[in-house]
Chains A and B, each alone.
Chain A
Amino acid sequence: MTKKQIEISAQDIEFIEKPANQARLVKAPEHFISQELIADINANGLDENRRGFLRKGFMSALGGAAAGLTAPLAMAAGEGDPAILEKQEWQTTLGKNVATMPYGMPSIYESNLIRRESPGLTRVSAASVAFTPLQGLFGTITPNGLHFERHHQGWYNLNPETHRLMVNGLVKNPRVFTMNDLMRLPSVSRTHFIECGANTGLEWGNVAVPTVQYTHGMLSCCEFTGVPLKVLLEECGADLKKGKFMLAEGGDGSGMTRTINLESCLNDTIVAWAMNGEMLRPENGFPLRLVVPGVQGVSWVKWLRRLEVGDMPWNAKDEAVHYIELMPDGSHRQYASIQECKSVITTPSGGQQLLDKGFYNVTGMAWSGRGKITRVDVSFDGGNNWRTARLETPVLNKSITRFNIDWVWDGSPAILQSRAMDDTGYIQPSIKTLRNVRGTRSIYHNNAIQSWKLDSNGEVSNVQVG
């Protein structure tokens, strides 16, 4: 340490050693500079003469501490927090230039919070899932780099200059649009959640995965910008009386195809090119994807290249072999698309470790594919008693709503749950309620209340009650 550091440290020690009830506010050094000098510097700038005045001001602010210059440096535990008493590297060296990272990245201390695969979930990584680390997110918006990934035949960086959108089928004018065309059209920006129909699908039979990243991480929420589907279809003269359905097709190898129910989705579907203020990420469909609010993610076709209006559903592979729900009687529910009202506590959540007893802000996310969240209740005793949480505003349609609730943990075991309600009057069900109707093999659309068990050692784990 340099002499100057000793000086400051000694001052701080003296201050901290005073009992709390005798503590006094010490003015920051700039307040020891006379008003005249400040005015002079403002008017005429700094020269050597004025610098001299400044130095004197600082020295008198430090006052008697100068006597401590030769004091030994050893900081006994009782003297204070080294994070305060010792100067940090970032105070004493030159910081980095602007644009050192021309596209900014999170702090190196955030490197644990990344998208991850669930080992053994899928057989090949080109047709797999990378889950969003919900356990570390705040608010409602998913950072673009953490938006979950689900591809059916790998992802590409499509060239936006050669990307085309074709609209055909039951339309007067089959048309082709370039990105230049589309981005000239009247656009809207709307915040919506996207959830894979198979989110929480591993938990139908029993607890299978440790953390909220893997139980609920096929969920993200972004502000999407694009042209309303209706504008495009009307522009092409779509016959919406006969054409109750639309095929959306992707430009990737899988040629992803999904039937969109126009009767249900025409009014809020967007042909989007942007997420959270920048163009779509390639993993999320750059340069064009369909945004079908409230409907499972598979219908939000990425690398969107064609829309075909038709008078019946298509029974594409991902609506006749996958994304179908096996019921106890051996039949499959087909075209189950709406993501029903659901919520989950994200912190504390499975696999997390509390350090100590005391106050916690328990927080999570709630969303509904049918409308707005109206209420979220939280239970700390496995669903026996409930308290209503605070909803953070604005509460948006078919979007994530953040809830918070105060809690003082007394150190005894607890089971945390949240249940959401939406403006259709629907209440998020228990896993037992769902199983009674749908059995345990449906894979898709598990919107059950999630339970997190907190043990007295502070560790939270994934459990199911009832």
Chain B
Amino acid sequence: MYKLDKLTARISFAALLALSTHTAFAQSDSAKYPGIGRHATMAEVAAWDIDVRPDFKGLPKGSGSVEKGQAIWEAKCASCHGTFGESNEIFTPIAGGTTKDDVKTGKVASLKDMKQPQRTPLMKVPTVSTLWDYIYRAMPWNAPRSLTPDETYALVAFILSLGEIVPDDFVLSDKNIAEVKMPNRNGMTTKHGFWNTKDKADVNGSSCMRNCVPFVQVGSTLPDFARNAHDNIAEQNRMYGPYRGADSTKPPLAKLPGASGEGLAHAKDTHSSAKKGPAALFQSENCSACHAPNAKLVGPSITDIAKKYDGQSGALDKLMTKVKNGGAGVWGSIPMPPQAQLSDEDRKTLVTWMLSGGK
């Protein structure tokens, strides 16, 4: 496979495509699982392996200015992020919360401030490669992978200028990107015990069984405004079984409802009365067990029914009654069982549909 790599590296992309269909695609060099998988061509790896690491492995050559970045930003990014990356309408602001001093120290001081209302990406991200990789791979939001490398350089340059990390006349390129000093480059730690199962956790609980907390204090309760903020909890639980959902549209009950669940909603209330089309009802209500559109099964076809009652006054009422109570004799000796389970509305929908010949 190494030889093939060298060979393909020397030939043009078009030739590579032709070659790969004939040779590389057919390759399967597995000893352990013969016939499974094949070698990836260089073009394939190049097409998918677009990630950029903190050491800039994977970064394509190119460059872009802050100025060019601003123009692309206004055309493709500002609608979600705001003209200066400050919009809080759709996404968290891109920039803000960093200072010139942070750029020097490599640690964003405002992250210590409990009153800092938001954490912008520029306050958090330690590596400029992250911005480049993500914008190139996933932006714009509704058209990912539509930016060129040069456009990506320009956009990253513009974002860096918003955070005053680079000057307004800066041109970012693969040559100088390693020199960019991110304001939170020293802000990360992996010393926490949650990256490798061999490491130990940072806290541990207590196994006390008796008189552990003699005075139990409730420190926080659900705020009143949050009681119904997730819609009615009664409609998010079963309406039978040991527990109901509390009706969060109302204040809490004054007393226990008792075994009968007096005043609470019931299981039948969950029965969706959503409108169904007549053809779906015909299936789901089992009419199709005995009736077909055009052929006689156990009962007459819909076409035959429509033909028989065509133009007859009172046909709707007559058939509505027949469907409800059942009947026999009109189409032969096999009786039609009563369909008492159908609601009046569904029955009317079905009979009207049948009389129209199933249209």
Q: Which residues of A contact B245 (CB under 8 A)?
A: 112, 135, 211, 351-353
Query: Quick check: B204 and A426 within 8 Å, CB to CB?
Result: yes
Q: Which residues of A contact B207 (CB under 8 A)?
A: 377, 421, 427
Write the chain A residue with the least CB distance to B131: A317
Interface residues of B in 42-72 (CB under 8 A from A): 44-45, 48-51, 53-55
Query: Quick check: B227 and A333 within 8 Å, CB to CB?
Result: no
Query: Quick check: B233 and A351 within 8 Å, CB to CB?
Result: yes
Query: What's the minimum C-beta distance from B146 to chain A, rounded to whole angstroms?
Result: 11
A354 on the B face (CB < 8 A): yes
The number of inter-chain residue pairs (CB within 8 angstroms) is 384
Q: Which residues of A contact B229 (CB under 8 A)?
A: 119-120, 209-210
Q: Which residues of A contact B288 (CB under 8 A)?
A: 97
A33 on the B face (CB < 8 A): no
- Given known contacts A320-B124, A426-B204, A332 and B271 CB-to-CB distance under 8 angstroms: no
Write the chain A residue with the least CB distance to B244: A353
Chain A 145-184: CB-based contact to B (< 8 A → 1; otherwise 0): 0000000110000000000001111001111110001001
- Given known contacts A314-B53, A434-B203, A112 and B259 CB-to-CB distance under 8 angstroms: no
Task: List the one stretch of B154-162, B234-242, B313-321 in contact with chain A.
Answer: B234-242
Query: What's the minimum C-beta distance from B100 to chain A, rounded to whole angstroms?
Result: 17
Complex Cα–Cα for A356 and B33 (A):
62
B108 on the A face (CB < 8 A): yes
Query: What's the minimum C-beta distance from B61 to chain A, rounded to whole angstroms?
Result: 20
Q: Which residues of A contact B50 (CB under 8 A)?
A: 255
B contacts with A: majority SS: loop
Query: What's the minimum C-beta distance from B65 to chain A, rounded to whole angstroms?
Result: 24
Query: Quick check: B257 and A337 within 8 Å, CB to CB?
Result: no
- Given known contacts A153-B141, A181-B37, A466 and B240 CB-to-CB distance under 8 angstroms: no
Partner of A331 from the list B44, B119, B187, B247 (CB cut-off 8 Å) is: B187
Query: Quick check: B204 and A336 within 8 Å, CB to CB?
Result: no
Query: Quick check: A463 and B341 within 8 Å, CB to CB?
Result: no
A70 on the B face (CB < 8 A): no
Query: What's the minimum C-beta distance from A306 to chain B, rounded to whole angstroms?
Result: 5
Task: List the one stretch of A8-16, A44-52, A88-96, A283-291 in contact with chain B.
Answer: A88-96
Q: Which residues of B contact A360 (CB under 8 A)?
A: 242
A357 on the B face (CB < 8 A): yes
Query: Quick check: B53 and A464 within 8 Å, CB to CB?
Result: no
Query: Quick check: B341 and A93 within 8 Å, CB to CB?
Result: yes
Complex Cα–Cα for A348 and B338 (A):
43
B13 on the A face (CB < 8 A): no
Q: Which residues of B contact A173 (CB under 8 A)?
A: 1, 29, 39
Query: Quick check: B209 and A377 within 8 Å, CB to CB?
Result: yes
Query: Quick check: A235 and B33 within 8 Å, CB to CB?
Result: yes
- Given known contacts A109-B240, A315-B126, A347-B242, A100 and B284 CB-to-CB distance under 8 angstroms: yes
B79 on the A face (CB < 8 A): no
Task: List the one stretch of A19-27, A56-64, A218-226, A382-390 in contact with chain B.
Answer: A382-390
- Given known contacts A211-B233, A310-B53, A352-B246, A166 and B220 CB-to-CB distance under 8 angstroms: no
Q: Which residues of A contact B141 (CB under 8 A)?
A: 153
Chain B 127-155: CB-based contact to A (< 8 A → 1; otherwise 0): 10110011001100100110000000000
Query: Quick check: B48 and A329 within 8 Å, CB to CB?
Result: no
A207 on the B face (CB < 8 A): yes
- Given known contacts A330-B109, A461-B221, A111 and B270 CB-to-CB distance under 8 angstroms: yes
Q: Which residues of B contact A340 (CB under 8 A)?
A: 194, 201
Chain B 85-115: CB-based contact to A (< 8 A → 1; otherwise 0): 0000011000000000000000111011010
B190 on the A face (CB < 8 A): yes
A71 on the B face (CB < 8 A): no
Query: What's the minimum C-beta distance from B95 to chain A, rounded to whole angstroms?
Result: 13
Partner of A335 from the list B195, B205, B235 (CB cut-off 8 Å) is: B195
Task: List the one stretch of A34-42, A187-195, A274-282, A450-458 in contact with chain B.
Answer: A450-458
Q: Which residues of B contact A172 (CB under 8 A)?
A: 1
Query: What's the minimum C-beta distance from A351 to chain B, rounded to whole angstroms?
Result: 4
Q: Which residues of A contact B202 (CB under 8 A)?
A: 437-438
A370 on the B face (CB < 8 A): yes
Query: Quick check: B218 and A453 within 8 Å, CB to CB?
Result: yes
Query: Quick check: A109 and B271 within 8 Å, CB to CB?
Result: yes
Query: Quick check: B244 and A449 within 8 Å, CB to CB?
Result: no
Query: What's the minimum C-beta distance from B233 to chain A, rounded to whole angstroms?
Result: 4
Q: Which residues of A contact B244 (CB under 8 A)?
A: 352-353, 355
Query: Quick check: B144 and A355 within 8 Å, CB to CB?
Result: no
Complex Cα–Cα for A455 and B255 (A):
10
Q: Which residues of B contact A373 (CB under 8 A)?
A: none
B23 on the A face (CB < 8 A): no
Query: Quick check: B256 and A355 within 8 Å, CB to CB?
Result: yes
Query: What's the minimum C-beta distance from A424 to chain B, rounded to whole angstroms?
Result: 8
A6 on the B face (CB < 8 A): no
Partner of A92 from the list B206, B261, B286, B340 (CB cut-off 8 Å) is: B340
Complex Cα–Cα for A169 and B107 (A):
32
- Given known contacts A110-B238, A330-B187, A385-B209, A93 and B201 CB-to-CB distance under 8 angstroms: no
Name the residue in B37, B45, B119, B195 with the highest tally of chain A Cβ atoms < 10 Å from its Cβ.
B37
Q: Which residues of B contact A142 (CB under 8 A)?
A: none
Query: What's the minimum C-beta distance from B83 to chain A, rounded to whole angstroms?
Result: 18
Q: Which residues of A contact B195 (CB under 8 A)?
A: 261, 264, 335-338
Q: Which residues of B contact A428 (CB under 8 A)?
A: 205
Q: Residues of A at under 8 Å CB distance from B?
A: 89-90, 92-97, 100-101, 108-113, 116, 118-120, 123-124, 133, 135-136, 152-153, 166-169, 172-177, 181, 184-185, 206-211, 213-214, 234-235, 247, 249, 253-255, 257, 261, 263-264, 294, 305-306, 308, 310, 312-317, 320-321, 324-338, 340, 347-348, 350-357, 360-361, 370, 377, 381-386, 411, 415, 419, 421, 426-430, 433-434, 436-438, 441, 445, 449, 453, 455-466
Q: What are 17 contact pairs spanning A and B, CB under 8 A?
A: A89-B341, A119-B231, A136-B237, A166-B49, A173-B1, A254-B138, A331-B111, A332-B124, A336-B194, A347-B243, A352-B246, A357-B256, A385-B209, A385-B210, A459-B246, A464-B219, A465-B217
- A90-B341, A308-B51, A385-B211 given; name 4 further pairs at CB < 8 Å: A330-B108, A351-B237, A383-B216, A457-B252
Q: Residues of B at under 8 Å CB distance from A?
A: 1, 29-30, 32-33, 35-40, 44-45, 48-51, 53-55, 90-91, 107-109, 111-112, 114, 119, 121, 124-127, 129-130, 133-134, 137-138, 141, 144-145, 184, 187-190, 192-198, 201-214, 216-223, 226-227, 229-231, 233-240, 242-248, 252-261, 264, 267, 270-272, 283-286, 288-289, 337-341
